[in-house]
Amino acid sequence: MPHRPAVQDWAESGAMALTGRADGPPLASPGMPATAIRAALAVFAELRHGHSRSTPSLPGVEVLGERAAIFGRGRNAPWSVGGAFRVFPAASGYLGISLPRPDDLTLLPALVEGEVGSEPWQTISAWTQTCSAETAAARAQLLGIAAAAIPDSPGRPHDRQFRHRGGHGILLRQGGFRRHRRTQPLVVDLTSLWAGPLCAHLLGLTGARIVKVESTRRPDGSRSGSRDFYDLLHAGHASVAVDFTTAEGITTLRRLIDAADLVLEASRPHALRRLGIDADAAVDNGTSWLGITAYGRTGPWSDRVGFGDDVAAAAGAVVIDGGEVLPCGDALADPVAGVHAAVAAAALLASDTAFLADVSMRDILAATLRVPVEPHDVIPGPAGLWRVRTADAEFPVAPPRARRSETAAAELGADTDDVLARWSRA
Q: What does the pLDDT read at residue 426?
A: 45
Q: Where in the chain is the domain with CATH 3.40.50.10540?
A: 167-291+336-357
Q: What does the pLDDT read at residue 210?
A: 98
- Kindly report the pTM of this predicted structure: 0.95
pLDDT tops 80 at residue 240: yes
CATH 3.40.50.10540 fits 167-291+336-357, yes or no: yes
Can you tell me the mean pLDDT for 165-182? 95
Q: What does the pLDDT read at residue 222?
A: 85
Least confident stretch, 147-151, 190-194, 222-226, 365-369: 222-226
Q: What does the pLDDT read at residue 423?
A: 83
102 vs 210, residue with greater confidence? 210
- pLDDT over 90, % of the chain: 85
Nearest to 152 by CA among 133, 131, 168, 125: 133
Q: What does the pLDDT read at residue 275?
A: 85
